[in-house]
Amino acid sequence: AGDAREGMALAAETIDSGRALNTLRNLVSYSRDGVLVC
């Protein structure tokens, strides 16, 4: 059971980091289009 929980936690972290990466990519593409200026 412990291994399954760790696996699920790892999967959740991977999904969260994937979402963060997608958000970063979206911000970069927006800034390239001049919509967002950092």
**Could you tell me the pLDDT band of residue 12, with boundaries at 50, 70 and 90?**
very high
Q: Decide: helix, strand or coil at residue 25.
A: helix
Q: Is the pLDDT of residue 36 over 70?
A: no
- Confidence check: pLDDT of 26 > 90: no
Q: What is the pLDDT of residue 32?
A: 72
Rg, Å, the chain Cα set: 16
Averaged pLDDT score across all residues of the chain: 82
